[in-house]
Amino acid sequence: YLKISKLALAFAIIHSKPPGKCSKEYTEHLARTVSEQDFGWKWKVESLEAEVLRLRQELLLNRISPRFCLENRKQDTSAETLLGQESINPTSYSSQLEDSGCDVCNDSAFDSLGIASDFHQSEHNVNTSKYWLERVPPLNLCHTSKEQSLTAPVHFLQRLLEMRKLSERGVLQADFSELENDSFTICNSVSQLLDGLTFFYSSPEFPAPGFLTEGVCVLLSLITDTKLSNHVLKKCFKKIEEFKKNLIQIILRNRSVNRFQALHSVSQMLGLLGRNNILRNSLISLLLSGVRQFAEQLVQAHQVQSVYDIAQYENIFLLCMILEQLLQNETEESNISSSDYGGEEKIKFLKNLDQVILHLSDEFPLFSLYLWRVSVLLNSGQMQ
């Protein structure tokens, strides 16, 4: 049947082709026409899906608290005056542009990138974002479809966070049990936010756009909120795990000359995600897996004297730094005895680690030192 259909289509094209044009040219013309029509329909479908999600978000907010939605519409006229007031000043990113950060392999460079201090200052950043979240959520900030993919879910989730804070203070009556009845809306919104963050982290801009900063603040606020985090993590855990894997791959695969400035913000994001008790263990497992696999590849390349990926070797130190900091934070907690972080990946990492360090210590002393420091932290947690 398929052969007969193809033959019939070929005859139809031959008979209908205009004069002065061969069958091949006419076939290519028809193929381009059909593909353009498919692209147009695809764009229309995506637009309609985005509109349906927006309406479902509005409906969900209205079900949670009709009073909030009514008052918020009245305040939208004054919201535009708040758009220029960003909760975090992005000038620090422009200052990083002056230095390529290529000396990231020493401790001073680690501090200069801001990663070490950001682990201690992240609470301040999250608290700073609360000021913004208590204000009227921003209107449409987008100028392109890519920005819209990030700002649309940020707008919705900011409103949800504001409702949560107002209800906690007793200012607003809200029924958050509606989130259980409409898991599709919250899952799609968080999924859009994570996809948007992944896209902009993959192609970073300096200084960081304001809507990217807002997206990061909203994600961290969702994860740390005592009530909303249960809904988000329960329904979107797999998507968040995929997001963490994407961030790790962005670090490992980046080969641009001035990449350390871009990788700084990605590393900071991973560190902040690791501050959450629920996400920390899985993130430690992912980092252990990434470092272990690279160490095995490096040993193999060293034994046969083959070429190894120098860019990935430089990037792996960022993962080591994040991993070491997360393990230090873990060992400082009082409930260390009840947490078996790393799981199977910890066993795989420690297995034959002495032999790996022995093979790499002469040629790659710094990387071997990081492997040893991570192993000490893992063993110290096990001893306690």
What pLDDT is stored for residue 316 in this prediction? 94
Q: What integer is the mean pLDDT of 281-299? A: 92
Task: Report long-range pairs for 93-100 (Cβ below 8 Å, ≥24 apart).
Answer: 93/206, 93/207, 93/208, 93/261, 93/265, 94/206, 94/207, 96/206, 96/261, 96/264, 97/206, 97/261, 100/257, 100/258, 100/260, 100/261
Closest CA to 321 of 273, 267, 372, 359: 267
Phi-psi region of 114 (alpha: psi -120 to 50; beta: other; left: phi over 0): left
pLDDT 10s digits, 229-261: 887 888 888 899 999 999 999 999 988 877 887
pLDDT 10s digits, 169-184: 888 888 888 888 888 8
Q: What integer is the mean pLDDT of 219-228? A: 85
pTM value? 0.69
Give me 232's structure tokens: 């988000």
What pLDDT is stored for residue 83 in this prediction? 34
Asked whether the predicted pLDDT for residue 283 surpasses 60, the reply is yes
**pLDDT above 70: percentage of residues in the chain:** 74
pLDDT 10s digits, 181-200: 888 888 899 999 999 999 88
Asked whether the predicted pLDDT for residue 55 surpasses 80, the reply is yes
pLDDT band with cut points at 50, 70 and 90 for residue 342? low
